[in-house]
Structure 1
Amino acid sequence: SVRPDAYQRTALEAAVSNGRKSMGWILSDPRGYTQTASDMNARNEDFRRAAKIIKGWRRATKNRYADFAMKSFHIEQAVYAHFSSNPSTTIFDAVFEVMRSIPSLIRKAQFRDRANGRVFIDAYVESLETPQRDLIEEAADYFLMQLEQVKDEKGISSLFTGGRYRRPATEEFLFDKGIPTLVQSEMRIVAKALQGNGFPQKILDAVGWIAKSRHIEFRVREPAPECDYILWKVRNDNSSSQPRGEITKHHTQNDPERTAYFGRHYVEAYAILAGVCIARARQEVVLQTQHQAE
């Protein structure tokens, strides 16, 4: 299960208690469901908190994109189902898991009407058009990307900007693997450009300027955080014919990596302990044009 860090749980709770307009409790329950929700909240107050966070995301996205079609009541039912299966879950766990499940929630109707078991209350998803499904999934991706960066209450506002992210088919994120990010330790990457092709060995600085046709080894600077293993991600510039974005275990997919495309790229490392990312680091890699000196 997810082990929420105190600062992220506190930040999420504070965002709810501050009464942001984007997270107002939406009274969209049909008759008969309000009491069910109240009973669940009596058992675990994080039910209402988690629902408010995700509804806030929905409202912000709807305000920005008129075609955003996910229903508020659908979200509440998904949150209710999560709490029913996980009675002691927390606000962070619930938000993370429900947002991760968005693609499956809009794939087919799943929630039967309690008054009429032949009717699905989320039947509308069956008629969603491809652009509508894409928008919902891209908005959920954006939310989860921002959630990985949250460190305090100030960072919570990034969850409610209504953004979307259209990833290339090859790109992966930790949340795809069910790994939450709850940073507890510092970590840095050492990027060593190897000697060859007339170039001397060098260590990349934070800016990451490097020439084409170099070979780079990426390692975590010692002492590394105590963890079970390190995951690595290589993401090329969007203008590249191979944007990549795969996540691999222990080292980058190619070790060493070869610089081949001009543009701004990056490599990230994630320290994983008990299924949670407890430290992360990023190294920029900027390939220079023929008119720029190394």
Structure 2
Amino acid sequence: MKPTPRVEIKRPSKNSHQRVLTRAFQSLELGLALIVYMVTVATIGVWLYTTIPTWASMSVSMQLCYAQNTLCWLQGAFFRQECNPFSCADFEKAATDEHLPTSVHLDYVLATNGGSIVEEFTSPTLGYRKLSMKERELYESRGFHLQHVKVYPPPIVIDSEVRIARCWSFAGSTGHIAISLSEPIIISHLSFHHPDHRELSASLLSRAPSRFTLWSLLPDPPRDHLLREDLVSTTQFQIRQTNSAPEGSLVHLADIEYDATEGLQMDAAITNNSVVSSMVILEIKDNRGRIRPVSTESRSTMQFRR
């Protein structure tokens, strides 16, 4: 006859309770550490997004510069090690100025020379919307609005300094910008300044403008040597009507094709080279991306010569 197995029921010892509690605390600590890690990563991500403009459109060298500065900050914050960060702004300017051609001719569109943007005939800026009453109060108290921090207005096109990833953008692949010249002139040449394509990402380069039409505003009535059939109404370019909006008709000056990979490009094919112009409209008809939803004047500046 086989012996019957004996079953014993023992109460858990104090050591067993301690082991269970220890494992529970370890799991809790691991969970808290994971939460802290995720919050830290999210905070760094938000900081990068809010402090580094147009990260995706930067060149690889600029992205590396900002990444190096981030690592430098982490090294000093957590490891108490001394680290001297790079000046990405100076690095960007040096990279741009190295390949930026110079010209001895007077630029009649530069803001520093007296040029200005005529907003009534300029396409709306992408991402720049009208602020509500509450947002306007915050804007007046802080001097800026978060919605507009990364948005560059049209006057950046006539700024004397060309910087990578700082450009005026508008919705769609076509748009127009109106510029009041510093003085009435007869336009004979047109030139563009654009950052070196080797320092631009493929995304930013594809949004560079490629085809333009240049128009000149003439006061009514037109001059005798211009046929009335050659004049075009300003209504197709007028965004809003104001009492200060210039009046007159437009005359075609030139059709221009621009290749951003060639840096500074001169185009002397001015159709009406005897027209005295005080305000011009640059109509952007296409960009390098062709079908991309955004076209950008990448800090392009124009020179009009006598």
- TM-score where L is the length of structure 2: 0.23
- TM-score where L is the length of structure 1: 0.24
Q: Which structure has the greater CA radius of gyration?
A: 2
